[in-house]
Structure 1
Amino acid sequence: MHNPTKALLRTAAAALLLAGMSLAAHADPFRLIVTHLEPPLVPNSVMDLAVELGYFEREGVDVELVRVQQTPSAIAAIQSGEGEMANIGLDALIQLVATGTTDLKAVVSPNKSLPYLIAAKDSITSTADLAGKSFGIGRPGSLDHSLSSRVLTADGVDLAKVDFVAIGQPDIRIQALAAGQIDATTVSIGVWQSLPDKTGLHILVSQDDYYAAAPVINKVNIVSQKALEQRHDDVVKVITALVKISRDFAQDPSKWVDAIAPFQPNVSRADLETLAASFAKSWSVNGGMSAKELQYSTDWLYQTEDFKDLKPVEMSSWADLSLVGDVLKTLGTDASMDAP
């Protein structure tokens, strides 16, 4: 005999189960893969600090950071489904696409470029003085070598007259410079700032002038095609949060200092404030996806040794600019920096 009470209970239970499943699916974290183990002393820290300061939460997306050590690990993680978005080198993305990968797209760049500068002995007062001098690099063809060659060439320096010396990592190069073993080198503003004694040294090419001479986008955030299809709204929310926090830090650098300080206890507030000032034009207030700069970066990459045997690829095959475009339609464009 039909029992209406039991039927009603079964219906209610089924409804609750479906609701629970829906909530569980909605509550799945959006996993963002980053290639640093703590918030770094560069604008890329916006990803970590957007979690800490609640920017993602306010946009209605639960972001979980997945930390790996290098771009290859980040690529492996996103390809194996361990994350929805990953921050990787642009060169690695284009290499993947040029060799047949079709399901990854760059959608935002929270930190377009490495904050490089050229430091030198005080006796070297202009780039022209580098002729006949030693210039420390990571290795022949490394990013610092290739970019600095572009910067120096743009300033009229004959590279054949510069003695490029392979030394290794930035911290080793800056110590070699401080010890007088080389005459100049390229390092990030963070490495320069961390050098305790700068006696006899100065910044030969500033961070802003370096990027102006070589506006190469270094890192982008990629998403899988699956994430674009299944979590499109969450991708837009993540981009929105990153743009908002970048604008807030650009407008008030002390907010970045306050936010990063707990994660960098060995760096003085004065040094953090100096770093914040050096980032004045580096924040991706419009998402960091200028088509002009992306194309410049691609053209430059294809002139390097690592790309000499790779087929050219169209930007549309590795970048989707529409998501940043949609975000800027809502937030408006910040004309102060970061051409959209």
Structure 2
Amino acid sequence: MKRLFALLLLAVAAPAAAEPFRLIVSDLETPLVPNSVMDLALANGYFERAGVEVELVRVQQTPMALAALQAGEGEMANVSTDALLQLAARGTTDLRAVMSPNKALPFLIAAKPEIETPRALEGRSFGIGRVGSLDHSLSAKVLAAEGVDVSKLNLVPLGQPAVRAQALLAGQVDATTMSIGTWTAMPDREGLRILVGMDAYFAAAPVTTKVNAVTTEVLKSRRAEVEAVIEALVLAARDFQDPATWVERMAVARPDVPRADLEELARAYRNSWSIDGGFTREELKVTTEWMYGTEDFQGLRPVGLEEWTDFGPLETVLQKLGPAQG
């Protein structure tokens, strides 16, 4: 009886096992973009080596990810920047972006072969998701930087990127925006040209479209784990900027994708990895200014960076790791 009582006392006194740190993602499988770093970091032991137990919670799209985060169903969520910024503008005070594992959508502009320069698009048809959609707004900024009078484009709302790609192949539009993944998956794309490549697209529109966000309560109560997650993602990104490394890991995660396609994507992503956290004040200021010029932000109050970001955890991690090589 005394032995049983002693064991009960030990059980009460012992600290409870730490709960897994739940990372909410909106990809139902490992995506063919640098956002794959989160899945691959888990599958290849990066979180474990950083000293944190991570569990992925999969949902569909940013609204569900934000709802899950706010409901306490996860500690960190990968969400669209515009959705997080809109919440802050509408009065939500307890969410903070802390890094971006994949800050830019890998967009490019593809066109019919006879269209040799962006300015040649004036007076031609351009496929978009919808008026005011992200692809429309960003592409307008990119084309304006190329000297195009975007008011002279004949905009054709078509919906999803795959539909726009098919319309371009069928000659129903003269050009459209799509991701490098959609471009790679297109059959018979030899009859088309890349009018504005991925790197040039981001250079003209350096907008951070995705961030990882946490609640202020998680920042207070589980900050060490937040920093460990960031550390793991930064180290994984530094490894995956070697195309061969990413291809090898993705071949295991996505055996359904031809290796040649993975190799083409890896070359395209060589400058896209968030090797220092993908999170700078300058780019986020540009992002905020651009977003407030779009239709979705009309009438919303301006917010400062301090209302929806916290650079502290990333700065601590980078001080520990040092800057990336190269």
Asked whether 1:18 is paired with 2:8, we answer no
Does residue 129 (structure 1) correspond to residue 154 (structure 2)? The answer is no
Deviation at 1:263, TM superposition (A): 3.3
Give, as a single letter, the amino acid of the residue that structure 2 aligns with 1:127: P
CA positional deviation for 1:335: 5.9
- Provide structure 1 residue ranges, at least 5 long, that are not aligned to the other structure: none
Q: Which residue of 2 aligns with 1:66?
A: 57
State the match for 1:256 in structure 2: 246
Which residue pairs with 1:118 in the alignment?
A: 109
Pair 1:158-2:149 in alignment:
yes
Q: What is the Cα deviation at residue 15 of structure 1?
A: 2.3
- Counterparts of 1:53-202 in structure 2 under 5 Å? 53-202=44-193
Counterparts in 2 of 1:54 and 1:335: CA distance versus 1, 3 Å: closer
Shift of 1:319: 0.2
**TM-aligned CA deviation for residue 264 of structure 1:** 2.6
State the secondary structure of the residue aligned to 2:114: coil
Which residue of 1 is the match for residue 322 of structure 2? 332
* CA deviation string 1:54-74 (max 9, x = no partner): 100111111100000110000
CA RMSD between the two structures? 1.3
Where in structure 1 do 4 or more consecutive aligned residues deviate above 6 Å?
none
CA distance in 1, matches of 2:187, 2:53: 40
Structure 1 residue 267: Cα displacement: 2.0
Identity of aligned residues (%): 56
Q: 1:305 aligned to 271, 290, 295, which one?
A: 295
Query: Structure 2 stretches of 5 or more lacking a match?
Result: none
Which SS does the other structure have where 2:189 is aligned?
A: coil
Q: Secondary structure at the match of 2:190?
A: coil
What SS class does the counterpart of residue 47 from structure 1 fall into? helix
| Residue of structure 2 equivalent to 1:211 | 202
Distance 2:255 2:83 in 1: 33
Tell me whether 1:235 sits opposite 2:246 in the alignment.
no
Deviations 1:302-336 (A, max 9, x none): 00011011000010010001111000000001264
The residue type paired with residue 89 of structure 1 is: S
- Between the two proteins, the alignment pairs up a number of residues equal to 326
Give 1:9 shift. Answer: 6.1
What's the secondary structure of 1:192's corresponding residue?
Answer: helix
Q: What CA distance in whole angstroms lies between the structure 1 residues aligned with 2:249 and 2:13?
A: 40
Deviation of residue 265 (structure 1)? 2.8
Q: 2-side partners of 1:286 and 1:114: how far apart?
A: 17
For 2:280 and 2:222, how far apart are their aligned partners in 1?
24
Q: With the length of structure 1 as denominator, give the TM-score of the two structures.
A: 0.94
- Alignment TM-score, normalising by the size of structure 2: 0.97
Q: Secondary structure at the match of 1:199?
A: helix
Q: Please give the alpha-carbon distance, in whole angstroms, between the structure 1 residues aligned to 2:309 and 2:128.
A: 31
- Which residue matches 2:280? 290
Give the SS at the match of 1:33: strand
Rg larger in structure = 1
Determine the C-alpha separation between the residues in 2 that align with 1:56 and 1:80: 24
The Cα of 1:95 is off from its aligned counterpart by 0.4
Structure 1 residue matching 2:116: 3-state secondary structure? coil
Amino acid of the structure 2 residue aligned with 1:104? L
